[in-house]
Amino acid sequence: MLSYIGKRILSLIPVLFVVSCVVFLVVYLIPGGPATALLGMEATPEQIEALNTELGFNRPFFVQYADWFAGIFRGDWGESYFLHQSVLDAIAEYFKPTLSLAILAQLIALALSVPLGIIAAYRRGTVLDVAAVSVSLLGAALPGFLLSMFLMLFFGVYHQWFPVAGYASLTEGLGEHLKYLFVPALSLGIVQAAYITRMTRSSLLETLYKNYIRTARAKGLKEAKVVLRYALKNAAPAILTAVGQSFGSLITGTIVTETLFNIPGIGMLTIGSINRRDVFVIQGVVLFVTLLYVLVNLLVDIMYGFVDPRLQPGRK
Amino acid sequence: MKKKMWSRIVAASMCSALLLAGCGSSGSGSGETKDSKEAGGESSAASELHVALAANPPALDPPSVNSNIVGGIGIHVYESLFAMNQDYEPTPVLAESYEVSEDGMVYTIKLREGVKFHNGEEMTADDVVASMNRWLEVSAKANTLIGGSVFDKVDDYTVSLTVNEASSDIIMILASPIQFAAIYPVEVVDKATPEGIDEYIGTGPYKVGEWKQDQYVKLERNEDYQPSEGAASGLAGDKTGVSDVIYFDVVTDTSTRIAGVKNGQYDVAEEIPLDNYEELSQEAGVKVTAERGGTLNLFLNTTEGIMANENMRQAILAALNCEDILMASYGNEELYELNAGWCVPTDAQWGTDAGSEYYNQKDADKAKKLMKEAGYNNEPLVLVTTEDYAEMYNATLVVQEQLKQEGFNAEVETYDFSTFMEHRADPKQFSMYITSNSYNMLPIQLSVLDSGWAGLDAPEVTEGIKAIRQAASDEEAAKAWEDLQTFLYEYGAATVLGHYTGVTAMNEGVEGVNYLRFNTYWGASVSK
């Protein structure tokens, strides 16, 4: 098991290297530099040139890349020109809201999707099933921003139960923190739930018709035990994959939801830094997001082994 | 048995819901802070004002950045020697008085005594000299107009300004609100890097409490504020803050700003899209203001390829129908004005429609004839634009359509804002482009006259600027500007498409918001 994890972590290095190359190249090639963004619409070319020289953007490509790449290993991911802090500090700060939002959205998604998926599978072909499948299809088809706006209007404008946008950090109290995160998390959760519901339903359906389930029923076991312990457990790896993917996409920042609800998370940092041409932040964020995504996948792979020991790596 | 099964499933879902709620209640020890603040707001006039801005300020350093957001926040924090009053007259703020030498080359400016910075130190000539010399260096506008001028210290409360060339508008330039000459403590100026200052200390009615990037700038009332003489007027006079705290919340999404002002989370929402003007003006509990903000302009390449031909440029001007362009950009007749002038139409000195015979011509025959004379051979005309500014983008599409109708091979290239700016700065990469530009206080500050803007490099421009600045009287200066504006049209360098308004929405309970180039909030309060 440990050697498996070790191998997987080692295999991350080429992935990250390639990503770092590509990102650096793309950022290098897009027109407009931080100097243009920093100095505003009517800056003279001389001023822009001077600032570029000062910031080191007039050096050859490979020199800039080598400089940046070496820095990564020293823990120096560069400085943000706009945020006046180091890239790592910025990522750490902007990651907190994203993490909170992702966890809350994932919990909502699970609370909605797993019961719904179980009901749909168990009552296959009934009105309940059709309803659950239709709702989840609707959830998958509805664009996230539209759903967000509906929820914002409903909870924020008509009923005024929640603020329409904004963010309060955990230091202001958990209640306040959740008050601001609930509506965006609900919007993300519903979209993610749609996918997980369908995965739960289909994988549970597969197991529900297996021989061992029939045997379990024949033994006279209670239905709940049959479904929740025997069937669901065997359907778990597929559900886990769906959950892993959904968590991976949530935790790497949701640009639209964060922008709409004004949550200063990784998504907002990404789009903001691209607009501001804050190059080290763009590079840092993309690298960080890649790292997160592969780590979440690794974690899911490892968890398979716990859910279903037959899938443990190295097991014959 | 089945019933039992269902009840278990329901119980399981309830459990997960409870788990969620449990997360919600545990450890909410300090959760009362914001609630109590909000509850306090209901009791009397709230002393917190929330203003939703459309973008994150790139820096809180007005001299070095030409940005409305930076200027709009900056006027609450910093002050300059002179500022515009409501009648657009330069009025002393941190200065007390000034004298001009007979040859007009040296200005001796007396400073007000006893004015304290937010850090408690007194403002003296050292601070002023350092700030003003930095302003001359970093502010593109100042540099173009009075570059090479120097500020020197005379004594602790007197500075002198030695200019390169005598001109009637020096004090106007010092009072100009765009990239304004904020006075910082000398230590702040000394520590400034090319990226700007990193301590935000001024003498204004509010001090920067906290700046949370991408979230808000929190301003707290400066209790030691010493206003200059006279009642508040424009950006001058007594600007003592009314609200205790002003939050400039960064809310980039338009629909979120609108929803926020409707539900009262924001008291004021700036930069409301004109499409929402009608809807919001009918909304109960919300009021909408529209202030004339600037001009939408079309700039033509005057140096490269077929565009270097004056007949070609005149052909393009002849083909334009500005009403259609403005309607597409602003969507409501109340929100734009057809006028050929580059300055505020009501400005007694600079408002003129000289050259209007070249404006909004809608003359297809003339366009075709001039096009032929220019020897146009279906060369592609490139209109560069950006979707980041809807009005600029929409106008570009309409202009493309109008040009195509007259037989021009017009192409639109769309980029994100930064890339657009890059293309715009290089005459090899565009035939024409449209931008909306806020009003300038002086015509000589107009971007169109700057060769770095759209590459216009004609001796008539330099001479025209000179004539305005060296004019002996206001009338003479106004006449010189009229001539220069006519030249811009005759030469086909650029055309105003029309004048636009900026829309701000606010709750009915908000009082005391004024406008002079920016919304001013020091006199504003909200009763809920």
The alpha helices in B28-120, defined as continuous H runs, are 32-43, 68-77
Query: What is the DSSP code string of A64-92?
Result: HHHHHHHHHHTT---B-TTT-SBHHHHHH
Report the pLDDT value the prediction gives residue B348, as an integer from 0 to 100: 79
B343 has pLDDT over 80: yes
Instruction: Determine whether the interchain pair B263/A176 forms a contact, defined as Cβ–Cβ distance below 8 Å.
Output: no
Dist CA B125 CA B152 (whole Å): 8
Instruction: Determine whether the interchain pair B35/A176 forms a contact, defined as Cβ–Cβ distance below 8 Å.
Output: yes
Q: Which residue has the higher pLDDT, B348 or B514?
A: B514
Optimal mutation site among A98, A262, A276, interface B, most CBs of chain B within 10 A: A262
Chain B nearest-CA residue for A113: B13
Window 208-227 of B, Cβ < 8 Å to A? 212-215
Name the minimum distance, in Å, from the CA of B130 to any CA of chain A: 20
Local confidence band at B157 (pLDDT 50, 70, 90 cut-offs): very high
Report the pLDDT value the prediction gives residue B186, as an integer from 0 to 100: 96
Point out which residues pair with B49 in neighbouring strands. Answer: B246
Instruction: Determine whether the interchain pair A272/B214 forms a contact, defined as Cβ–Cβ distance below 8 Å.
Output: yes
**Average pLDDT rounded to a whole number, residues B446-453:** 87
B43 has pLDDT over 70: no
Optimal mutation site among B421, B423, B424, B429, interface A, most CBs of chain A within 10 A: B421
Residues of chain A in contact with residue B425, where contact means CB-CB under 8 angstroms, are: 45
Instruction: Determine whether the interchain pair A41/B421 forms a contact, defined as Cβ–Cβ distance below 8 Å.
Output: yes
B11 has pLDDT over 60: no
B284 has pLDDT over 70: yes
Dist CA B493 CA B461 (whole Å): 11
| B259 → closest Cβ in A118, A164, A173 | A164
Instruction: Determine whether the interchain pair B198/A276 forms a contact, defined as Cβ–Cβ distance below 8 Å.
Output: no
Local confidence band at B2 (pLDDT 50, 70, 90 cut-offs): very low
Report the pLDDT value the prediction gives residue B23, as an integer from 0 to 100: 39
Name the minimum distance, in Å, from the CA of A83 to any CA of chain B: 7
Instruction: Determine whether the interchain pair B255/A110 forms a contact, defined as Cβ–Cβ distance below 8 Å.
Output: no
Q: Coil, strand, or helix at residue B83?
A: strand
- What is the Cβ-side half-sphere exposure of residue B248, based on CA atoms within 13 angstroms? 32
Residues of chain A in contact with residue B454, where contact means CB-CB under 8 angstroms, are: none
B6 has pLDDT over 60: no
Dist CA B487 CA B345 (whole Å): 18
3-state SS of B7-53 is HHHHHHHHHHHHHHHHHHHCCCCCCHHHHHHHHHHHHCCECEEEEEE
Instruction: Determine whether the interchain pair A272/B56 forms a contact, defined as Cβ–Cβ distance below 8 Å.
Output: yes
Report the pLDDT value the prediction gives residue A40, as an integer from 0 to 100: 63
| B9 → closest Cβ in A110, A118, A175 | A118
Instruction: Determine whether the interchain pair B5/A222 forms a contact, defined as Cβ–Cβ distance below 8 Å.
Output: yes
Report the pLDDT value the prediction gives residue B35, as an integer from 0 to 100: 35
Window 367-406 of B, Cβ < 8 Å to A? none
Instruction: Determine whether the interchain pair A172/B251 forms a contact, defined as Cβ–Cβ distance below 8 Å.
Output: no
B54 touches chain A (CB under 8 A): no
Optimal mutation site among A26, A41, A118, A269, interface B, most CBs of chain B within 10 A: A41
**Average pLDDT rounded to a whole number, residues B5-20:** 44
Chain A nearest-CA residue for B251: A262
Q: Which residue has the higher pLDDT, B114 or B16?
A: B114
B429 has pLDDT over 80: yes
User: pLDDT digit string (tens) for A55-87?
Assistant: 778 888 888 888 888 888 888 888 887 888 899
Dist CA A70 CA A175 (whole Å): 43
Instruction: Determine whether the interchain pair A176/B33 forms a contact, defined as Cβ–Cβ distance below 8 Å.
Output: yes
| B20 → closest Cβ in A107, A153, A176 | A107
**Average pLDDT rounded to a whole number, residues B417-425:** 82
User: pLDDT digit string (tens) for B497-518?
Assistant: 999 998 999 999 999 999 988 9
Chain B nearest-CA residue for A258: B253
| A152 → closest Cβ in B34, B249, B259 | B259
* Window from A69-83, A168-182, B84-98, B426-440 with minimum mean pLDDT: A69-83
- Give the range with max mean pLDDT: A49-58, A301-310, B76-85, B448-457: B76-85
| Secondary element (H or E) of residue A143 | none
Burial B263-300 (b: 16+ CB within 10 A, else e): bbbbbbbbbbbbebbeebeebeebbbbbebbbbbbbbb
Report the pLDDT value the prediction gives residue A42, as an integer from 0 to 100: 61
| B422 → closest Cβ in A31, A38, A224 | A31
- Residue ranges in chain A whose pLDDT is less than 50: none
B45 has pLDDT over 60: no
What values do phi and psi take at B297, rounded to 5?
A: -125, 150
> The tokens of A163 are what?
């603020």
**Average pLDDT rounded to a whole number, residues B418-436:** 88
B167 has pLDDT over 90: no
| Contact in structure between A210 and A234 (CB atoms under 8 Å) | yes
Instruction: Determine whether the interchain pair B213/A82 forms a contact, defined as Cβ–Cβ distance below 8 Å.
Output: yes
Optimal mutation site among B28, B70, B197, B214, interface A, most CBs of chain A within 10 A: B214
User: pLDDT digit string (tens) for B176-205?
Assistant: 888 899 999 999 999 998 778 989 999 999
B87 touches chain A (CB under 8 A): no
Name the minimum distance, in Å, from the CA of A250 to any CA of chain B: 18
How many cross-chain Cβ pairs, A to B, lie less than 8 Å apart?
185
* Window from A257-261, B35-39, B430-434 with minimum mean pLDDT: B35-39
CA-to-CA separations, A168 to A215, B31, B421, in angstroms, rounded: 53, 10, 35
Report the pLDDT value the prediction gives residue B486, as an integer from 0 to 100: 96
Q: Residue B251: which of B263, B243, B262, B259 has the closest Cα?
A: B259
Dist CA B177 CA B401 (whole Å): 37
SS3 percent helix, strand, coil of chain A, rounded to 5, is 80, 0, 20
pTM here? 0.79
Residues of chain A in contact with residue B12, where contact means CB-CB under 8 angstroms, are: 115, 228
User: pLDDT digit string (tens) for B381-399?
Assistant: 999 999 888 889 999 999 9
User: pLDDT digit string (tens) for A84-94?
Assistant: 889 999 999 99
**Average pLDDT rounded to a whole number, residues B294-314:** 94
| Secondary element (H or E) of residue B495 | strand B494-507
> The tokens of B371 are what?
């096009």
Window 424-443 of B, Cβ < 8 Å to A? 425, 435
Report the pLDDT value the prediction gives residue A155, as an integer from 0 to 100: 93
- E-strand ranges in B362-485 read 380-386, 409-415, 432-438
